[in-house]
């Protein structure tokens, strides 16, 4: 190696060294000078995370735009990852949790407590009816599936470092820690410790922010009810999403902390009411300063406008409850033999020209505002207040079925307006087969309108036998009985009596069964929604509409109509106008004469109706009343059932009170409001 080559290498090395030095110097100058502020700010960042902000749910309003369900602001307590003590700081976390728990208890606040362990005098036991929670607890504690309650408690003490606490405090802290695991507590999913917290409690936590690090108060919206007892079976509750619901909906953007409609309109129109969630970026600097910025603004859900009228709904609920309580009072009379154990009832009001449901009431009922706190007692209550009797219960319709048989017989030519049947109270046609059928009274000779008014069984035994079950069933199809009405909510189908249904039971259909079916007995089972639509179809001359609860879907500010329901004709009962007139006239006699006529006598309109009663399983008869008014130009149809009321006339006061409100009080209230507006 020559001296010249060695010198050349030294020169090259020196040049490279100088170049490297210049590059580092330039970079340092750039960092400190040109981009100094940027790197300084970047260095001060402690954490940045993005949170999902649940959008306000859309409102639910009645057909006139009056609010039924809207939103109010409230406080929730959440734990933020990166600020709240971590698992590595479990001892500190426990102190904060216990302090919060005691504050909640002191202020009477509700908090989530799902750990399935109960302390007893002798030890620890699993809580009743909590198999899923027990399974999850064992998984969280990494225990075998056959682990006992004491073993779970001991494992929780160890895992969450609670040996220095009393058993009671240890269990309360462990409950929160366990639930934080269940709720997938993470940077993108804060843990909701308590909801709907009073402002005073929230302010205490804010004031002690130095101690309650990572415990934040979020202002969120909660469902608010103008009247939390109104139309509850139609509206339905909103609650925390269940694990099963979350598994089904997580791919649609739901989180484990979301709320969701549980039944009714809240559930059926969840996708419209929910809205679009927002994104909030939270940045925490090293000095503890926190900044928040929306990267996506939350968008409130659409408003759902119902066909329900608040006033008619309230009047219907009050009328139903009033009559049920009066019947229960009468049932206490030791001489009573007709009224049984009046467990509940239902009433539905329908616009006969559109199929819009103006009111749907079920009794007993409950309060949406206290649904979750009362759920344990509601779910086990003897008369099933959570059950929607209007849509989900099915009943043998009794004599309310007779107008259908009358129309079918007239239109088929089986009878005409002059045809008569002689009723001596006993129907003897089947006596040679060992069967005698009866009527309530000996009516003598009756034509069709008289048979409807008198509700003569013998007339319909004979007419039904001659008409045949096939023709009766064809008209049932046309009137939509034992078929869903098409509403947006869950509803039962019911049963159409006849050979087809009997075959499903492995039984035979006899001729006498047709006579029984013609008076609304046999196997018939219909909902009150179906009976209301049936009455509406009789009233309007044969057009059966799809029943519906929803009028339209509106944008949150009401400026845009997203969807509007147009009256939908499902079927048409093809019958001569004259035959409809005969049936309607017979129903007018029911509504304007006799017992029911006396009940309806002070109304400003004529009511057409039909009473009915039907025994089930040896109990005293359920009472039914279907009707429409005004007779000369029908607007609304009303169907009512009260369980074990004894007769149809005994439930007709419900319809009377509804018509009183609709045709009298509603206009009086409107006139008074107009007058007050004018005076202002």
- How far apart are the C-alpha atoms of 12 and 14, rounded to whole Å? 5
- Across the range 258-277, mean pLDDT stands at 94
Does 169 score more than 60 pLDDT? yes
Where along the chain do its domains lie?
Answer: 47-112+187-306, 310-366+386-671
- Across the range 53-60, mean pLDDT stands at 90
DSSP sequence for 52-121: EEPPPPPPEE-TTS-EEEEEEEEEEEEE-TTTS--GGGHHHHHHHHHHHHHHHHHHT--------EEE-S
Q: Are 87 and 221 in contact (CB under 8 A)?
A: no
pLDDT digits (tens, 9 = 90+) for 411-451: 999 999 999 999 999 999 999 999 999 999 999 999 999 99
Domains 47-112+187-306 and 310-366+386-671 share a fold: no
DSSP sequence for 395-462: B--GGGGHHHHHHHHHHHTS--TT--EEE-SEE-TTGGGT--EE-SS--EEE-HHHHHHHT-HHHHHH
Burial 121-138 (b: 16+ CB within 10 A, else e): eeebebeeebeebbebbb
Q: Are 641 and 610 in contact (CB under 8 A)?
A: no
- How far apart are the C-alpha atoms of 262 and 130, rounded to whole Å? 20
Which of the four pLDDT bands, split at 50, 70 and 90, describes residue 39?
Answer: very low
Write out the two tokens for 547. Answer: 């029943």
Q: Are 569 and 625 in contact (CB under 8 A)?
A: no
Higher pLDDT, 641 or 2: 641
Does 35 score more than 90 pLDDT? no
Residue 191: closest CA among 298, 114, 284: 114
Which residues share a beta bridge with 240? Answer: 259
The pLDDT value recorded for residue 375 is 92
pLDDT digits (tens, 9 = 90+) for 241-267: 888 898 999 898 888 888 999 999 999
Distance from chain centroid for Cα 393 = 16
For the purposes of burial, counting CB atoms within 10 Å of the CB of 571, is it exposed (0-12), middle (13-18) or buried (19 or more)? middle
CATH class for the domain made up of 310-366+386-671:
alpha beta
Residue with tokens 């048979």: 451
Calculate the alpha carbon distances from 662 to 314, 351, 437, 635, 673 in Å: 11, 12, 41, 10, 16
Which of the four pLDDT bands, split at 50, 70 and 90, describes residue 277?
Answer: confident
Least confident window among 30-34, 155-159, 312-316, 369-373: 30-34
- Across the range 150-155, mean pLDDT stands at 96
Q: Are 520 and 614 in contact (CB under 8 A)?
A: yes
The pLDDT value recorded for residue 40 is 39
The pLDDT value recorded for residue 41 is 39
Q: Which CATH number fits domain 47-112+187-306: 3.20.20.70, 3.30.70.20, 3.90.1310.10, 3.40.30.10?
A: 3.90.1310.10
The pLDDT value recorded for residue 42 is 41
């Amino acid at each position: 190696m020559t001296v010249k080559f060695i010198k050349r290498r030294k020169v090259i090395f020196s040049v490279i060294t100088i170049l490297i030095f210049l590059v580092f110097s330039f970079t340092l100058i750039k960092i400190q000078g040109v981009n100094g502020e940027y790197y300084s700010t970047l260095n001060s960042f402690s954490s940045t995370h993005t949170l999902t902000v649940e959008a306000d749910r859309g409102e639910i309003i009645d057909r006139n735009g009056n609010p039924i369900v809207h939103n109010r602001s409230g406080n929730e307590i959440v734990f933020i990852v990166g600020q709240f003590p971590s698992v590595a700081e479990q001892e500190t976390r426990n102190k904060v949790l216990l302090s919060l728990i005691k504050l909640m208890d002191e202020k009477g606040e509700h908090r989530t407590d799902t750990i399935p362990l109960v302390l007893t005098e002798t030890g620890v036991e699993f809580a009743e009816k909590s198999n899923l929670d027990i399974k999850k607890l064992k998984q969280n504690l990494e225990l075998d599936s056959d682990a006992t309650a004491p073993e779970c408690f001991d494992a929780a003490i160890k895992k969450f470092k609670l040996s220095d606490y009393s058993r009671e405090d240890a269990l309360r802290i462990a409950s929160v820690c366990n639930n934080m695991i269940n709720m997938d507590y993470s940077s993108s999913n804060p843990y909701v410790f308590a909801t709907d917290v009073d402002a005073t409690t929230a302010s205490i936590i804010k004031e002690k922010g130095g101690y309650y690090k990572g415990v934040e108060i979020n202002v969120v919206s909660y469902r608010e009810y103008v009247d939390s007892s109104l139309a509850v079976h139609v509206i339905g509750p909103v609650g925390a999403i269940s694990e099963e619901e979350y598994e089904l909906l997580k791919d649609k953007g739901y989180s484990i902390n979301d709320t969701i409609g549980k039944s009714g309109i809240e559930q059926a129109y969840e996708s419209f009411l929910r809205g679009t969630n927002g994104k909030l970026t939270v940045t925490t600097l090293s000095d503890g300063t926190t900044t928040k910025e929306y990267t996506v603004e939350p968008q409130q859900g659409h408003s759902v406008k119902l066909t329900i009228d608040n006033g008619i709904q309230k009047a219907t609920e009050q009328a139903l409850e009033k009559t049920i309580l009066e019947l229960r009072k009468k049932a206490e009379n030791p001489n009573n033999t007709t009224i049984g154990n009046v467990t509940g009832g239902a009433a539905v009001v329908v616009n006969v020209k559109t199929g819009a449901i103006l009111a749907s009431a079920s009794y007993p009922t409950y309060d949406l505002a206290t649904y979750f706190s009362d759920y344990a007692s509601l779910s086990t209550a003897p008369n099933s207040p959570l059950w929607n009797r209007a849509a989900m219960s099915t009943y043998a319709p009794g004599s309310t079925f007779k107008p259908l048989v009358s129309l079918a017989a007239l239109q088929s030519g089986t009878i005409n307006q002059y045809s008569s049947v002689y009723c001596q109270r006993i129907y003897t046609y089947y006596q040679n087969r060992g069967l005698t059928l009866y009527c309530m009274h000996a009516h003598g000779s009756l034509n069709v309108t008289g048979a409807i008014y008198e509700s003569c069984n013998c007339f319909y035994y004979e007419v039904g036998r001659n008409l045949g079950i096939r023709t009766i069933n064809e008209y049932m199809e046309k009137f939509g009985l034992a078929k869903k009405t098409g509403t947006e909510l869950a509803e039962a189908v019911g049963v159409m009596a006849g050979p087809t249904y009997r075959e499903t039971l492995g039984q035979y259909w006899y001729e006498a069964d047709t006579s029984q079916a013609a008076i609304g007995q046999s196997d018939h089972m219909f909902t009150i929604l179906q009976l209301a639509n049936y009455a509406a179809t009789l009233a309007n001359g044969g057009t059966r509409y799809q029943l519906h609860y929803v009028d339209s879907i509106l944008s949150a500010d009401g400026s845009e109509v997203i969807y509007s329901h147009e009256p939908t004709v499902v079927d048409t009962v093809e019958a001569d106008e004259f035959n409809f007139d005969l049936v309607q006239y017979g129903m007018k006699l029911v509504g304007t004469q006799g017992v029911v006529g006396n009940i309806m006598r002070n109304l400003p309109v004529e009511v057409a109706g039909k009473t009915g009663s039907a025994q089930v399983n040896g109990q005293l008869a359920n009472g039914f009343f279907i009707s429409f008014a005004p007779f000369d130009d029908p607007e609304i149809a009303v169907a009512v059932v009260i369980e074990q009321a004894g007769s149809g006339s005994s439930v007709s006061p419900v319809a009377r009170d509804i018509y009183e409100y609709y045709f009298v009080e509603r206009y009086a209230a409107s006139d008074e409001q107009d007058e007050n507006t004018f005076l202002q």
